Structure 1
Amino acid sequence: MTSPTQPAPAPSRVCFQLRVKPDLLDEYLRRHSPVWPEMLAEIAAAGRRNYSLFLGEGGQLIGYYETDDDAAARAYLAASPIAARWEAEMSRFFVGLEGRPDQAAAPLTEVFNLHDQLTESTPS
């Protein structure tokens, strides 16, 4: 817990990239409209928020979410039977992916964040 004089730590921003098989794009989109309610609840219970997926040319998929503890969120979902079932169904959609999509997608390195730089450049 933080004291009134200590600000809460900034959430981690996590971005990842996967590639959806072009011949399965339509089905992939149908599966996300909507996502199972119990899977949505597990994502939230894991501590992920502001979670979005963006689809680009050729099946390029970019995911983004924020969390206070990404290792804990990943561990929670890794142990979740609901997430395991969802990911087992979703794994066939991705090119060159071994294992569960949520666990196998490597985070991208953040190189710029407007809010952080504005905050750092503002005198106290």
Structure 2
Amino acid sequence: MQRVCFELRVKPDHIDAYRAAHAAVWPDMLRALKATGWNNYSIFMRPDGLLIGYFETENLQASLDGMAATEVNGRWQAAMADHFVGIDLPADQAFSYLTEVFNLDEQISAL
């Protein structure tokens, strides 16, 4: 299982709208994420709008391609487009990926 972490930044004046949208994600979007291999997906956000997303997948590119092929993802990305700082692509194409530097389970298993 591949563990994926990414960051984006939400515009300060869009934080409330972003939170509201994610408190009630469209059911067809939820189903599409699950069907395309986005597992254990969470999004965290600081008060200043720094957003960190995390999910697990068998194959990152297959999960991204799977979502890109869905109609609902296009609608969702369009609805979210104005919320982010400094990107001119759909958010799911503009992730800034973070490198994992510590994993407790891996190190415990190696003992």
Aligned residues: 111
Q: Do the aligned residues in 2 keep the contact of 1:53 with 1:63 (CA within 8 Å)?
A: yes
**Higher Cα Rg, which structure:** 1
TM-aligned CA deviation for residue 85 of structure 1:
0.7
Distance 1:57 1:106 in 2: 19
The unaligned stretches of length 5 or more in structure 1 are 1-10
TM-score normalised by length of structure 1? 0.86
User: Secondary structure of 1:31's match?
Assistant: helix
Offset from partner CA, 1:41-62 (integer Å, 9 cap, x none): 0100110110000011310000
Q: Which aligned runs of 4 or more in structure 1 are off by greater than 6 angstroms?
A: none
TM-score normalised by length of structure 2? 0.96
Offset from partner CA, 1:62-96 (integer Å, 9 cap, x none): 00000011110011111111101101110110000
Indicate yes or no: 2:12 matched with 1:41. no
Q: Which amino acid aligns with 2:3?
A: R
TM-aligned CA deviation for residue 33 of structure 1:
1.1
User: Secondary structure of 1:51's match?
Assistant: strand
The unaligned stretches of length 5 or more in structure 2 are none
TM-aligned CA deviation for residue 106 of structure 1:
2.6
Indicate yes or no: 2:43 matched with 1:53. yes
Distance 1:71 1:120 in 2: 28
**Identical amino acids, percent of aligned pairs:** 47
User: Secondary structure of 1:96's match?
Assistant: coil
Distance 1:65 1:114 in 2: 17
Q: Which amino acid aligns with 1:52?
A: S
TM-aligned CA deviation for residue 14 of structure 1:
0.2
Q: Do the aligned residues in 2 keep the contact of 1:78 with 1:103 (CA within 8 Å)?
A: no
User: Secondary structure of 2:96's match?
Assistant: coil
Identify which of structures 1 and 2 has the higher relative contact order when contacts are C-alpha pairs closer than 8 Å and 6+ apart.
2
Q: Which amino acid aligns with 2:14?
A: L
